[in-house]
Amino acid sequence: MPKTHPIVCFGEILWDILPNETVPGGAPMNVAFHLKKLGLEPALITRVGLDNYGKRLIQLMEKEDITTEFFQMDFELDTGRVTMTPGEGDDIHYDIIKPVAWDHVQWDPQFLPLLTQSSWFIYGSLAARSEASRSVLYRLLEAAPHKVLDINLRPPHYTRPVLEKLLENVDMLKLNLGELELLTGWFSSYRSDNDRIKAIQDRFHIPTIILTKGSKGSTMSYEGEFYEHPGFTVDVADTVGSGDAFLAGLLYSLIQGVGPPAAIEFASAMGALIASYSGPCPQYDIRQVQTLIKGNQPH
């Protein structure tokens, strides 16, 4: 029997070029990495070039025992790269090179059985910046089970019509404060974050929305109720990939049948732990998350 994958991630896989190092990245890959750490078997639909960058990414995924069965090879375009420059506070400036291999994911008939045997489909807005990958994504969304949109607004790599299309029929939306304000700013002005969340839920009929607020914690609107977590205090190395770890921790908890308060606590600890490391996919022991929950009181 072929191995089944309960969670399928779609989109960019790339190299983050930081001031002091170059590390593998891309939100879909980061989420898949942390899901694997948590003992799940994610699949990643993506595309790399025939360059050394692409070969190294495949080797790294194989080393982590993450399937590369749904990786495509591009004979013309290079593997994705992003130059990242720190700004003020936690802000990071991104120069996302275009076009690259993951902009040209091609349809493959094996995607359909992959999705029908899965429980969750995770995608972002960045992979929809090109017509080729966007058309494949739209076809996948028609067949996908529970849909999770991890929105990732990097100017100029998005448009309002595409974002509104991606928000349709979503089961779960994850976004940060800036993204929340931008989306709701299209419709009207709101006084509170919770009002903004409710406005998006009502407009697009989204059952679950998760708002990450950096050092101020997170909010989850789930089945009509709001759940808050103030976050954990850690010595931050960088925040790259901490939101992806948060999402992996949240989905893992929900799959295990954990209730919303404990799920958002575990997700918050995952995000905080990764922020204490440099890079989005550090080597860590999952027991460190429980240690953080037990020993580091919310601030």
The residue to which tokens 């529970």 are assigned: 146
CA 235, 237, 240 angle in degrees (round to 5)? 125
Instruction: Look at residue 298 in the predicted model and tell me its pLDDT.
Output: 45
**CB-CB contact of 248 with 255 (8 Å):** no
Whole-number Å distance between alpha carbons of 137 and 142 = 9
Instruction: Look at residue 236 in the predicted model and tell me its pLDDT.
Output: 87
What are the CB-based long-range contacts (under 8 Å, 24+) for 113-116?
114/5, 114/8, 114/43, 114/45, 114/70, 115/8, 115/140, 115/143, 115/144, 115/145, 116/143, 116/145
Summarised one tens digit per residue, pLDDT across range 180-205 is: 999 999 987 888 999 999 999 999 99
Instruction: Look at residue 92 in the predicted model and tell me its pLDDT.
Output: 72
Model pTM score:
0.93
**CB-CB contact of 34 with 285 (8 Å):** no
pLDDT < 50 stretches in the chain: 298-299
Which domains does the chain carry?
7-295 (3.40.1190.20)
Instruction: Look at residue 90 in the predicted model and tell me its pLDDT.
Output: 62
Burial class (CB in 10 A: 0-12, 13-18, 19+), 124: buried
Instruction: Look at residue 143 in the predicted model and tell me its pLDDT.
Output: 94
**CB-CB contact of 234 with 292 (8 Å):** yes
Instruction: Look at residue 190 in the predicted model and tell me its pLDDT.
Output: 84
